[in-house]
Amino acid sequence: MILARRAAAVGAVALAVASLQPLGAQAASTRIVGGTPAAQNEFPFMVQLSMGCGGALYKKDVVLTAAHCMNGSGNDTSITVTAGANDLNAPGAIKVRSTKVKVAPGYDGTGKDWALIKLARSVDRPTLKIATTDRYNRGTFTIAGWGDTQEGAGTGTTKLRKANVPFVTDRVCKRQYGNRLVSKEELCAGQQRGAIDTCQGDSGGPMFRKDDANKWIQVGIVSWGDGCARSGAPGVYTEVSTFAKDIARAASAL
């Protein structure tokens, strides 16, 4: 549980080499702790991935998620993406298959935790803009997902949950994580006292806030943490602004 992401990421790389098994068992261990149910259509860009991760619609036919949820780059029709419903079992939920995956160039389990999934067809839902500068890497963020509501629960939820968490500086975040934090590629969020956090199963989902035009903008991707919602151990998120150009380029090439 401690070092959850590293273990997961190394596992993902190992699995990618050894086989094409989904990461369900591993990923099933993280969802929102200390949150509340999301309202219908509150976050229409949110998607759930069949291996037990979250994601956001970057384009109508491209999902932005975490590299550690993926088995590697290439053609991949194994992922079912559920969109358009808070309740994964709702009759109106949209289910679309993946066709391809692109994992961040150079991803090796430390930092660079992003990946894109190309969908078999477009989903008629709003997309989520990503931050292209670091100006929004501050303030209060919203997190959302279908992951565990307590550390170690291992079940996730069928209904989307949400919470707000404050930005944590790299300096403060390093009190917990030291050099495990890749400052330029990751940002931290969470109250000093813990209690509210993403958890297993939320990985790959977006962390977002309002921009100056009062529109949602994605600043992070759920990546890892020591346990969930522990005091002094913030959640660690991929710093989207650092990779915005790489993500745009990779999406055009998908």
Determine if 219 is a binding residue for ligand ARG (CB under 6 A): no
Shortest separation between residue 194's beta carbon and ligand ARG, angstroms: 9
Q: Which listed residue (85, 225, 242, 247) binds ligand ARG by CB under 6 A?
A: 225
Shortest separation between residue 169's beta carbon and ligand ARG, angstroms: 17
- What is the rounded CA–CA span in Å between residue 224 and residue 107? 15
Determine if 206 is a binding residue for ligand ARG (CB under 6 A): no
CB atoms within 10 A of CB 171: 9
Determine if 149 is a binding residue for ligand ARG (CB under 6 A): no
One symbol per residue from 16 to 35: x for binding ligand ARG (CB under 6 A), - otherwise; what is it?
A: -----------x--x-----
E strand residue ranges, the chain: 36-37, 46-49, 53-59, 62-65, 74-75, 80-83, 94-103, 115-119, 129-130, 140-145, 161-168, 186-189, 206-210, 216-224, 235-239
Q: Of 136 and 141, which has the nearer Cβ to ligand ARG?
A: 141
Task: Provide the 8-state DSSP code for 38.
Answer: P
Residue nearest ligand ARG (C-beta atom): 225
Shortest separation between residue 11's beta carbon and ligand ARG, angstroms: 10
Hey, what amino acid is at 160? L
One symbol per residue from 163 to 202: x for binding ligand ARG (CB under 6 A), - otherwise; what is it?
A: ----------------------------------xxxxxx
- What is the rounded CA–CA span in Å between residue 124 and residue 131? 22
- What distances in angstroms separate CA 172 from CA 1, 113, 188, 231, one per listed residue? 22, 21, 9, 13
Q: Residues with catalytic annotation?
A: 68, 113, 203
Query: Which residues contact ligand ARG by CB under 6 A?
Result: 4-5, 8, 27, 30, 147, 197-203, 222, 224-225, 228, 235
